[in-house]
Structure 1
Amino acid sequence: MFLKAQRSRVAAAGLAVVALVAAGCGSSNSSRSADAETLVLYTGQSGDYQVNFNPFSPTLIDGPGTIFEPLFFFNVIKDVEPRPRLGKAFSWNADGTELSIEVRDDAKWSDGQKFTAKDVVFTLDMITKNKTMNSTGYKGKATATDDTHVVVKFDEPAYMEGPQVLGKIFMVPEHLWKDIATPATDPVKSPVGTGPFLLDEFKPQAFTLKANPGYYGGEPAVKKIRYLSLSGNQAGADALKAGQVDWQTGPVPDIKNVEKNYPGYKAIITPMNQAALFTCSNAELGCTGAQTDPAVRKAIYYGINRGQVNALAFEGTASEVSPGYALVRRDKGLVSGKLKEKTAPMSPDVAKATGLLEGAGYAKGGDGIYAKDGKPLELTVKVVAGWTDYITAVDTMGQQLQQVGIKITPQQLSWNEWSDARGRGQYELLIDAVQQGPAPDPFYTYSYFFSSATTAPAGEIANPNFGRMKDSALDEALASLKKIDPKDTAARQPHLDVIQTRIEEVMPYIPILTGGTTSEYNAKKFTGWPTEDDLYAFPAVWSRPENSEIFLKLKPAGK
């Protein structure tokens, strides 16, 4: 996303950051040293944090990568060898039906118990029994052959399962989780993991992790990580200006002059996540509202002036987006030639938008708004309070869509309310971003956000096919892709063509732009940050487990 931010009790939150940071800074040398080794983050949270360290929950506040680890870390930006975490090595058999994994023999859970292959098998078995935990669509059968080796068997070739099993499933301790009655919903208030950090302190307005002295990779140089709750983008920018936040991902005024405006800080802009108007699109799954009509979704698509949205909401940091949701830059060779449009139009086409509506039986009323069966074409867009870039985008699109006879009304919510509505499909439109998977391949975005396996009827929690697309042709193409070695691009492309053209046709997520994810970080206080020349991890503070890779690389300046 461009930013995960919220607004509540603006003045109180603004004062809270000063108090919270000051509380960690005393006059003694030891306290000054501790502050120098404390990384202060703003992920966009506002309002009270609610304790939830469950790595499988869509409303978790932290845990993946920091406390609970994957077997390997895959770089989603570029195709490089994965970095071992709890795993040491892996290999496929000749036909892609068997994945062999060797795990570490020197990792321990933070309660002192030894991590073994049995924990891996337990975790994999657990998510197969709990659909809402299985956001990767995993269907294998795992067996521990000894304490350090796991074999995962699949009924058919499953090459594309590799990065998901290895990089996006976070291992949990069998000796503790076997007694959790409802692992899909338990908030895990006292997390025990193998990761480089432990929960130190939790308060509703901030929580702190501390370095794990028993971490198999050595105790991290960053000794504490403090997560703050503020009131939104402006409060984040103010805290940055005051030197009270070391890393945030989100817009600040005059983003191109960060080093001048925020001495000691640098910025990095990475085009990765695709901003979209999410729609509860599927009437057959219980969605209600005019957005369930594909003609309405496409009219909105053609009514948006993306160039203007980019300029007014995103300071020109965003870029073109494909309606087939392959990344225009990273996946250039995979963008389907069968799409009607390889990229969404940057300028509106009012005639095409109104033609789609009239062809679907809508007629323009005296107020300029189209209506059908006596119901005006009016839709509500849910947005998190404090997401100033997204709020500006929604306001701008609202003015633009009046030109095509569609009225959209922003509804600002707390992050918790917004997230719950998104998961349960209790919305008409909602602004968010379609994100990437564990490896640099659009297959994972498709399997997460567009697969029937990851959605649910409205009222039930979907994770993460929030748009509730359910399409047999797309599902069949995904199943076929799983069986093909990813190196065989010629064999893969016909299936990618099917997926992209079906997404363009159904359009459950109306593409806006590819977000230029902007991060600002304290280069004076810490070294080791990702740069354009060394993007060893996607540099977004809210992206997990990517942020943990960055935490492990950082060192206090001068050390």
Structure 2
Amino acid sequence: MLDTRHSRESVLRAGTVGGAAALAATFGGLDVGTAGAQAAIPDVPRNRTLQIIGGGGGGRFTDAGIGNPYAAGATHQIGNAALWEGLFYYSAFGDEMIPWLATGYSYSEDFSSLTVNIRSGAKWGDGTPFTAKDVEFTFNLLMTNLKLSYGADMQKYLKSVAASDDLTVNFAFTTPNPRFLFEYLAFKFDNGVKLLPKHIFEGQDPTEFLWFDVAKGWPCGTGPYKIVLWSETQKFMDRRDDWWGKDVDFGGWSAAGNLPDVQRIVFVPYSDDNRLAQLMASNDGDLGFTLLPQIIKPLIEQNKQLISHSFNRPPYGYIDWWPNSLWVNTELEPWNDPEIRWALSYALDRQQVIEVGYEGAGIPTEIPYPAYPALLPFFGSIKDLLQKYPTNKFDLGEVDKRMKAKGYAKDAAGFWAKGGKRIVIDILGFSIWATSGPILAEQLRKAGFESAYSQPPDWTAQAISGKFGGAWLFGHGASIADPYYTLYLYSSVNSKPQGNTSGGGGNQWSRWSNKEFDKVIETMNNVPMGDPRLLDLFHDAMAIWLKELPTIPVWQFYHWIPMNTLRWTNWPTVLNSYVNGAYWHTTFPLMLHKIKPVS
């Protein structure tokens, strides 16, 4: 519940959204940075305002006043992605690389260096030209500061970064690195290095400088939006009509002479799923955070203005880059035995979980990869391995065979035990698995494993501690166009926590390592994306991975996002999949350039 005295609907249902007096009357006191700009907030018609329900928690934003994308607590997931632009964007759905702040690039023949060409005429929000020197400054800052996101990576991979002129920047690598541009210079999902204005950040402590002052126009990215009001309970972002890109032809994304049709973005903090559903049902929200199928299905049936990525049909969404697995600590008994891990896999009826827990809105996954166009050839290349190692097969007979072979027998209560000690599998997770986790636990119980599902607030700390002997649900945020990234999560260098989560859990939580697997990944690292040799290397790596089964694939993860067609159209859908529809990803600006007002 929101703790403001007046309901937010008094603003959401207004004919216009804006105006200092209306805001002050509705929301009460504002922080200093916001209050300084109240008088400058104009009125914007409701049908040119995009109202998004999401971000934060408990009705409050957690990042208010943190404009510096590298400061502690900063996030691009609550609108700030509209401020930053990438040198490139990548749309996984279209398998398309889109030059933006850059116009092109070239690698050296041995991939030991990379030259990027910067687009002429790009500007920061304060009118200062954006140049190669800003790129040089940002990456050198990251290289010398391990406290910053990407700092460790830049120190590991970069020998030097230098701007030879305003429109050319050169990256020299410590070792050949054919994937550097895709991984760090292209915005996609949650990834991509956010560039900083040298003329503002030079001389500042990047860990302390918050870069927020609405009166000064801070933060001022190169994107077409600026923050005009920001507190714990409200966030308004207005279009900058002087955006540099309006004079540039970005092909089908934005024609020369065009600005985004969204004049104002209003963020309403997430409270709970029911509140989100209510605001979408009453047409107060235009775009929402992902909902479970049990909520979005009746919501769309009730309000015909609402659609999902697949309109009013299952699966009511699209596959995210985060395929889910059941994880265990492979250093602890009995999970250090691949045969026991395989017994767990055979105990799971994934299709039943999808039918009951997600009302049929989903599909199982055989491997920890999202089913995206660029990855499908790799799926096909290991069909022979999946026949030998059927990760999606439900077979209680196989469970019994493997457990008995390892000396286990069922006790009087029907649970597997050895030496008087039962295997106990407490499964941890959070709200997105509230309808699926309990089903998994029940399936394990029927297979002879004592199991229960819970959502303690410290579950991630337990999982990563190295001491938790149960299991947990989590995803893989890694590969979307090239198989290397997910495989790299399982290399030995990532087998222990190193102060980060390596792509959303990565291998640091399973603590698995295999030297033969490492050799294949090391070879793959030197083979560029798109090279046919990757098919054979992927097959070699997965032959080891599938035999060992360090994590247990369960299902593809979906975003079930409600979108309202009352005021806005051209949403990303199954018939128009130009990009994923998550406002919390770095590709959010691409959607802003595409959606159109109904009238």
Structure-1-length-normalised TM-score: 0.82
323-332 or 167-176: bigger deviation: 323-332
Q: Does 1:49 align with 2:61?
A: yes
1:314 deviates by 1.9
Aligned to 1:171: 195
Match of 2:171 among 152, 164, 169: 152
Q: 2:524 aligns with which of 469, 477, 481?
A: 481
Which of 304, 307, 310 is the equivalent residue of 1:263? 304
1:309/1:397 contact within 8 Å kept? yes
Greater relative contact order (Cα 8 A, min sep 6): structure 1 or 2? 1
Matched with 1:242 is 282
Please name the residue that 2:98 is paired with: 83
Residue identity in the other structure for 1:442: P
Partner of 1:309: 353
1:101 corresponding residue in structure 2:
116
Instruction: Determine if contact 1:90/1:100 at 8 Å carries over to the other structure.
Output: yes
Most deviating of 297-306 and 200-209 = 200-209
Give the conservation status (yes or no) of the 8 Å contact 1:296–1:357: yes
Count of residue pairs the alignment pairs up: 530
1:197 to 225, 240, 261: 225
- One-letter identity of the residue aligned with 2:325: L
Is 2:441 the partner of 1:402? no
Mapping of 1:35-434 within 5 angstroms?
35-43=46-54, 45-47=56-58, 48-51=60-63, 55=69, 60=75, 61-62=77-78, 65-80=81-96, 82-129=97-144, 130=146, 133-134=149-150, 137=153, 139-140=157-158, 141-167=160-186, 168-177=192-201, 179=203, 181=205, 183=207, 191-218=219-246, 219-248=259-288, 249-253=290-294, 260-268=301-309, 269-279=317-327, 281-283=329-331, 291=335, 294-323=338-367, 325=369, 327=371, 331-335=375-379, 336-337=382-383, 339-341=385-387, 346=392, 348-371=394-417, 375-385=421-431, 387=432, 390-413=433-456, 428-434=470-476
C-alpha separation in 1, matches of 2:407 and 2:148? 38
CA spacing shift, 1:192–1:434, aligned 2, 3 Å: same
Greater CA deviation, 417-426 or 231-240?
417-426
Structure 1 contact 319–514 (Cα < 8 Å) conserved: yes
Contact conserved, 2:133 with 2:163, CA < 8 A, in 1? yes
How far apart in 2 are the matches of 1:513 and 1:492?
Answer: 25
Q: Contact (CA 8 Å) 1:55, 1:63: kept in 2 or not?
A: no
Cα shift at 1:401: 0.7
User: Structure 2: which amino acid aligns with 1:204?
Assistant: E
| C-alpha separation in 2, matches of 1:528 and 1:547 | 14
Q: Indicate conservation of the 8 Å contact 2:48/2:597, yes or no.
A: yes
Query: Which residue of structure 2 aligns with residue 532 of structure 1?
Result: 574
Is there any run of 5+ residues in structure 2 with no aligned partner, and where?
A: 20-42, 187-191, 213-217, 247-258, 310-316
Question: Which whole-Å deviations, capped at 9, do the CAs of 1:216-239 have from their partners, x for residues lacking one?
Answer: 224532123233333443433332
Q: Deviation at 1:39?
A: 1.8
Measured in 2, the distance between the counterparts of 1:272 and 1:299 equals 28
* Cα distance in 2 between the residues matched to 1:499 and 1:295: 19
Higher alpha-carbon deviation: 269-278 or 421-430: 421-430
Structure 1 runs not aligned, ≥5 long: 1-11
The Cα of 1:72 is off from its aligned counterpart by 0.4
- 2:528 maps to 1:517: no
Partner of 2:596: 555
1:5 alignment partner in structure 2: none
Distance 2:362 2:84 in 1: 32
User: 1:27/1:258 Cα in 2 relative to 1: closer, same or farther (>3 Å)?
Assistant: closer
Give the CA RMSD over aligned residues: 3.6
In 1, the alpha carbon distance for the partners of 2:555 and 2:531 equals 30
Say whether the 8 Å CA contact 1:17–1:239 is kept in structure 2.
no
Question: Of the two, which has the highest radius of gyration?
Answer: 2
Amino acid at match of 1:125: N
Cα deviation digits, residues 337-391 of structure 1 (max 9, x gap): 4524488655521222243344445443333333456653223333224x3xx21
Partners of 1:132 and 1:463 within 8 A in 2: no
C-alpha change, 1:17 and 1:234, in structure 2 (3 Å) is farther
Q: 1:64 to 1:375 in 2, by over 3 A?
A: farther
Is the aligned partner of 1:23 residue 2:11? yes
> What is the alpha-carbon distance in structure 2 between the residues aligned to residue 136 and residue 357 of structure 1?
42
Give yes or no for contact 1:281–1:467 (8 Å, CA) kept in 2. Answer: no
SS in structure 2 opposite 1:405?
coil
Does the 8 Å CA contact 1:124/1:142 hold for their aligned counterparts? yes
AA paired with 2:397? A
Instruction: Report if the CA contact (8 A) 1:320-1:344 is conserved.
Output: no
Amino acid in the other structure paired with 1:66: A
| Separation (CA, whole Å) in 2 of partners of 1:30 and 1:472 | 60
Q: Distance in 2 between matches of 1:210 and 1:425?
A: 46
How big is each residue's C-alpha offset from its partner over 1:442-482, in whole Å with a ceiling of 9 and x where there is no partner? 333334x4345556438x43232443144444443333223
Change (3 A) 1:292 1:267: same
> 2 CA distance for matches of 1:342 and 1:551?
46
Q: How many angstroms apart in 2 are the aligned matches of 1:246 and 1:433? A: 28
Residue in 2 that maps onto 1:493? 535
Confirm whether residue 34 of structure 1 aligns to residue 73 of structure 2. Answer: no
Provide the C-alpha distance between the structure 2 equivalents of 1:235 and 1:293, rounded to a whole number of angstroms. Answer: 45
Q: 1:6 maps to which residue?
A: none
Distance 1:357 1:207, change over 3 A: farther
Q: In the superposition, relative to structure 1, how do residues 530 and 398 fare at CA in structure 2: closer, same or farther (>3 Å)? A: same
**Cα deviation 1:120-163 (Å, max 9, x = unaligned):** 12332344442872399551332211111111223444322231
Q: Secondary structure at the match of 1:19?
A: coil
CA distance in 1, matches of 2:319, 2:9: 31
**Whole-angstrom CA distance in 1 between matches of 2:360 and 2:152:** 33
Q: CA deviation at 1:403?
A: 1.4
Are the equivalent residues in 2 in contact too, given 1:90–1:99 (CA < 8 A)? yes
- Aligned counterparts of 2:492 and 2:367: Cα–Cα separation in 1: 19
- Secondary structure class of the residue paired with 2:524: helix
Q: In 2, distance between residues paired with 1:186 and 1:486?
A: 37
User: Aligned to 1:478, what secondary structure does the other structure show?
Assistant: helix
Query: Match for 2:14: what amino acid?
Result: G
Which deviates further from its counterpart, 356-365 or 530-539? Answer: 356-365
> Take 1:539 and 1:272, find their aligned partners in 2: how far apart are those partners?
10
What is the one-letter code of the residue matched to 2:10?
A
